[in-house]
Structure 1
């Protein structure tokens, strides 16, 4: 009988930063996170909002101190490229479900343009049953698989942009680019566009192309990460404050930085701002986030002195 050889224990370490992953098809966000976490040998990691297994594209992953700011990416506007199959509706609103209805597709480019224009701006959207929303502690998709439908409340979302990329009349495939607020269900949008055209539709493919200021062309694939050595993998990380890149910055003297890190409010000669990123001066170090009200800088999320020291060491190589 062959002896079972134990797998070597991976020695974990403090890793800080944000990795922009191009998530592959068929992998859940958490599965992708765990694979990258092992590759990075990271002690602490998280993702910034679930991307469906059937979707590909941008999934920012946070490590160490950066996990404190995951919510920033979660709240950010998103960009998607969606492929709609016109003429066929399914039980799930995507290609995984069973066909509910097939209808002829007889639409003009002008009608498609008009239908898409109708969904720009603030709209009310009913979350689909096949979603991760919870009802009495259970995900809606679990109930849907059991044939149970529950009442859902419509939510207000905003479609900032909806552009037609390609219309393939021979295959009844419509490709669109969407920029929208968080919580938008592109699957529901696809179904609604199909109904407005009178032929129905389901979401055939989805790729997240952006989150806040970050774009998918800045992302790395799992295969690329696996082929890298440790130094190259660490080089893929952007600093924890990269998620806050659009916020105004405040730089404090070392003395003021110490007081800020202890949670004390600081007087600053700056305009009020709901969100700022705060730095120490020498050496320049990211301290955390805050806001300015009535000339006072007030801390929101602070890094610990140990996290700051570890980040400076990591940056120094």
Structure 2
């Protein structure tokens, strides 16, 4: 199937392009970007022009920042294309609901992707927890914004989500593996005095689960979820690549991210063939609740 990739930045080049190149399901037939391109692939600067000229392209994958994504997704749907959304699927819950409704009304499909759910040990963790009761937990998700979003000021603008850009990855795993839903009880959000979105956050969730997100960690990055249950302890480390259950370690044979995007594109192919959508917004609900309930504190200015 032919697919167009919209928004050719770091995540597109590092993850989407290699995943598509290795897939038996997809042909990357076009890109749309004001600043980037992929060697050997037809490049466009305008989505409308591409949609009009390339009726053979059945699917559009959007790697844009969250704020402009809604308009692009709606245009693609109205042009009769299936749509794949990089996480988070939008800037607001209401626009995500509108996109899902539009896809349904147009008899198309839309996919809100959560790449961290595709980490190798997430499914085994979910299976082990299925009959357990969670008694407490700790999420530690700390990384360096300068490494992952170098000079990208949009992450600190309204709609950019700040530290929840990586933090939502942890919440996507949590909402996938827990046998029952959780909800937010309270939050503290640290906003640099010169920025519009938080650089750190602490969440108090039900079932005694605490989450610590920070975008200022240099050196080794930390992506861990540890859960106490009525039948032992489970921990996911390295973003879901390593699973520890009561001291017994299971680890993915490959790098943390190497299998995530190939699995997302395999799932997208399934959805297109079945004419279905997958728009689970539960991680985004928790982030929205954090902005609603969160106590705001001021942190030192941040500069790239």
TM-score interval (norm. to shorter): under 0.3
Q: Which has the higher helix share?
A: 2
TM-score norm. by structure 2 comes to 0.26
Higher strand share: 1
Is the radius of gyration larger for structure 1 or structure 2? 1
